[in-house]
């Protein structure tokens, strides 16, 4: 069977590229429909356009010409079209007799194509694909294309090419997965924007979808509502007073001045300055420990599907009232192009709702300071998250239990150095004993952190200060890698991998098995 090029995967996957005619066709399509279109809508239109173009071209090339079929007889001077050769046109310049033991005698026609000649069989009435249809049936076969089938197969590939072509084009505007042309957008003036600010102000800052803001703005009612919404969203996006905070696929506007300042000025304790290290130093066991800790600054692949997450709180997040936006937690939050995203955390035990703010660039979720304090969640405490009933809602819990007095590590400050001691504390939350490191002197620890930041203290120097203090709390003078990770983050924000690499690299730190390490002060002094 001869197939049109638009029926072939090779055409859409490798040959197809948008040209000026396609751009013009897209522009005219907007002028015709007069409303925003998704990338998928444009892809559907463009596939239909390309199919129609090819159909018209096939009809033009076949008009008034004979289609070559092996069973027919031809004479010198006849002009033929060859669909199997991309509709090449040729003129018969000569004929001769031919013979095949299987088919007997037939005629060989010599056809000239742009100065070159080729030979074809004629008068050969045998079963052959080219002999099966007459010219009208062949035309129908070539011009009947299932556009919907092509859309289903190739829309995604074509959509990527459309986005790449339209993105730099000055006439087109994109919001999310929708496109429109500037000349058709509604006017949104400064008065409209002031009114939008007032509407959000009355609503506590938001979030509000554009559909709820629009009725208050008195925009041109003759325009399609989708045009009004698109134009309003575009104008709000250009105005620094407004923040779009909804998950992808939704739109929700919030007043920036009514958002928590921490999501615009991230707490310094959460900020990580990348530390160069040799990842080849990490054994498979250390890499597994890194994945278990799931620090937000560890570049780990998120799971394929959202699943319940249990994580342990570390000091910087307890201090700031945040949780890590780590690989596993990222899978629970709907994707968004917005730098800040508003979510709702629901306490499973009480049903109370907590407004959370996802700050993707700085990899944290803000809004849990009061919840941590109310439930006295310790450093190392187990916190549970799982998907809620709708996108943007997470169910929140912790290991609730009756308060028990436990021996825990407490950090103090003495002579501008961090010290650790064991003390009994009543704890009503399950926790990882290797990570729990608290303090009763927050201000003093903050001072040590500021001092370490100002002096830009290295990982080895911090370890040399922290390790002996932690080691003296155990009879074996050993410290687990997780404990070091939890403690060092009181003085500097460090993910596990650079810390583990330093333990492996420096001869002063000696592994003794099961991720426990000892510190050799003599080797430290000799290498200093």
Q: Where are the domains of the chain?
A: 5-61+145-169, 71-127, 185-259, 414-420+443-527
Residue whose tokens read 């615009």: 264
**Structure tokens, 387:** 């998907």
Q: Cα(250)–Cα(36) distance, rounded to whole angstroms?
A: 16
- What top-level class would CATH report for the domain 414-420+443-527? mainly alpha
What CATH architecture applies to the domain 185-259? Orthogonal Bundle (1.10)
> What pLDDT is attached to residue 373?
94
Domains 185-259 and 414-420+443-527 share a fold: yes
Query: What pLDDT is attached to residue 238?
Result: 92
DSSP state of 335: P
> How far is the C-alpha of 508 from the C-alpha of 523, rounded, in Å?
5
**pLDDT per residue as tens digits for the range 347-376:** 999 999 999 999 999 999 999 999 999 999
Q: Helix axis angle, 39-62 relative to 147-166, nearest 10°?
A: 110
Tokens linked to 286: 């250390």
Please name the residues in contact with 383: beta carbons below 8 A apart, sequence gap of 6 or more: 310, 311, 312, 313, 323, 377, 396, 397, 398
Query: What pLDDT is recorded for position 63?
Result: 67
Q: State residue 138's pLDDT score.
A: 58
pLDDT tens for the chain, residues 1 to 528 = 456 677 777 878 888 888 888 899 999 999 999 999 999 999 999 888 888 887 777 777 666 677 777 888 888 888 887 777 777 778 888 888 888 888 888 888 888 988 788 888 888 887 766 665 555 555 565 556 678 888 888 888 889 999 999 999 999 999 888 999 999 999 999 999 999 999 999 999 989 999 999 999 988 888 899 999 999 999 999 999 999 998 877 899 999 999 999 999 999 999 999 999 999 999 999 999 999 999 999 989 888 788 899 999 999 999 999 999 999 999 999 888 889 999 999 999 999 999 999 999 999 999 999 999 999 999 999 999 999 998 889 999 999 998 889 899 999 999 889 999 999 999 999 999 999 999 999 999 999 999 999 999 999 999 999 999 999 999 899 999 999 999 999 999 999 999 999 999 999 999 999 999 999 888 887 665
Are 142 and 58 in contact by the 8 Å Cβ rule? The answer is yes
Encode 249-282 in three state secondary structure. Answer: CCCCEEEHHHCCHHHCCCCHHHCCCCCCCCHHHC
DSSP string covering 118-167, please? Answer: EEEEES--SS-GGGSS-HHHHHHHHH---HHHHHHHHHHHHHHHHHHHHT
Question: Three-class SS of residue 463?
Answer: helix
CATH number of 71-127: 2.30.30
Q: Tell me how far apart the terminal alpha carbons of the chain are, to the nearest angstrom.
A: 79
d(CA 87, CA 455): 76
User: Following DSSP, what letter does each residue of 387-419 receive, concatenated?
Assistant: E-SSTTEEEEEE-EEEEEEEEEEEEEEETTEEE
**Torsion sign across C-alpha atoms 306, 311, 314, 317:** positive
> What does the alpha-carbon distance between residue 503 and residue 523 come to, in Å, rounded to a whole number?
13
Confidence (pTM): 0.78
């Amino acid at each position: 069977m001869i197939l049109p090029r638009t029926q072939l995967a090779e055409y859409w996957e490798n040959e197809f590229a948008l040209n000026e005619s396609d751009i013009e066709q897209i522009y005219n399509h907007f002028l015709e429909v007069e409303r925003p279109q998704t990338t998928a809508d444009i892809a559907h239109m463009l596939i239909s356009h390309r199919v129609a173009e090819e159909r018209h071209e096939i009809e033009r090339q076949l008009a008034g010409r004979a289609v070559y079929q092996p069973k027919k007889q031809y004479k010198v001077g006849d002009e033929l079209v060859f669909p199997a050769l991309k509709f090449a046109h040729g003129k018969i310049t000569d004929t001769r007799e031919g013979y095949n033991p299987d088919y007997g005698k037939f005629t060989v026609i010599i056809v000239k194509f742009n100065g070159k000649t080729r030979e074809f069989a004629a008068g050969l009435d045998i079963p052959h694909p080219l002999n099966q249809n007459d010219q009208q049936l062949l035309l129908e076969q070539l011009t009947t294309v299932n556009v919907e089938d092509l859309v289903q197969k190739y829309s995604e590939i074509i959509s990527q090419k459309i986005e790449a072509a339209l993105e730099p084009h000055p006439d087109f505007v994109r919001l999310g997965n929708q496109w429109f042309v500037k000349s058709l957008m509604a006017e949104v003036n400064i008065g409209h924007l002031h009114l939008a600010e007032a509407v959000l102000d009355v609503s506590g800052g938001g979030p509000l979808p554009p559909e709820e803001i629009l009725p208050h703005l008195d925009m041109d009612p003759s325009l399609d509502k989708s045009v009004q919404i698109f134009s309003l969203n575009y104008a709000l996006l250009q105005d620094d007073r407004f923040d779009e905070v909804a998950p992808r696929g939704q739109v929700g506007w919030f007043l920036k001045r009514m958002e928590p300042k921490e999501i615009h000025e991230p707490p310094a304790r959460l900020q990580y300055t990348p530390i160069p290290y040799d990842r080849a130093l990490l054994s498979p066991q250390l890499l597994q420990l890194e994945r278990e800790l799931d620090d937000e600054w560890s570049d780990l692949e998120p799971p394929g599907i959202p699943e319940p997450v249990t994580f342990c709180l570390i000091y910087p997040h307890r201090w700031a009232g945040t949780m890590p936006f780590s690989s596993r937690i990222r899978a629970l939050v709907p994707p968004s192009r917005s730098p800040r995203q508003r979510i709702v955390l629901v306490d499973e035990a009480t049903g109370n709702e907590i407004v959370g703010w996802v700050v993707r660039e700085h990899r944290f979720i803000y809004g849990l300071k009061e919840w941590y304090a109310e439930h006295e969640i310790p450093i190392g405490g187990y916190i549970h998250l799982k998907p809620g009933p709708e996108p943007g809602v997470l169910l929140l819990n912790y290991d609730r239990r009756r308060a028990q007095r436990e021996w825990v590590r407490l950090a103090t400050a003495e002579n501008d150095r961090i010290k650790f001691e064991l003390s009994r504390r009543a704890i009503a939350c399950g926790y990882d004993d290797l990570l729990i490191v608290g303090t009763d002197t927050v201000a003093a620890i903050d001072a040590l952190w500021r001092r370490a930041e100002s002096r830009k203290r290295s990982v080895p120097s911090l370890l040399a200060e922290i390790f002996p203090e932690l080691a003296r709390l155990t009879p074996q003078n050993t410290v687990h890698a997780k404990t070091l990770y939890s403690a060092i983050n009181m003085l500097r924000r460090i993910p596990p991998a650079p810390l583990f690499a330093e333990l492996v690299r420096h001869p002063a730190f000696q592994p003794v098995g099961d991720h426990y390490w000892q510190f050799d002060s003599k080797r430290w002094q000799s290498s200093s």
